[in-house]
Amino acid sequence: MQIKSKTYKYLDGSKLKAGIVVARWNNQITDELLKSALVTLKKSKVSEKKQKIISVAGSVEIPFALHKLARSNKYDFLIALGCVIKGDTPHFDYVCKMAQEGVLEVMLEDNIPVGFGVLTVNNLKQAKARIHVGGEATLAALELALIK
């Protein structure tokens, strides 16, 4: 099972259920991350009926929603989608740390693969150049679910 960046070998996820948590903050980017993730799910044969999308305010809220999905025992893998753009204050550092550590905790504590598609960038241009990360995070989680 080999995955190549931007030229994916899509995996068969037809028997799997996916939970997606997407932040509304910076939605011009997160909406595109979600589209990228959904394209990957479709190409990986994950039925729309086996997908649940939850929208949360921002990236700090992602881990809580992931935790709730994981504890429901209804999903084989989860996907975290968000975008944090650096500003003039240290708030960026705190948000990034909380999102990253929270997602990691869900993966390890709840024993479920989570694709990390939370962009942490310096500007909007960098974010737009990384829209494909939604699909990459999806494929990473799907691959882990298949070996779980």
Residues forming the active site: 91
Q: Where are the alpha helices (DSSP H) in 14-132?
A: 27-43, 62-71, 91-110, 124-128
| 76, 16 contact by CB (below 8 A) | yes
Angstrom CA distances, 77 to 44, 66, 83, 124, stand at 13, 10, 20, 29
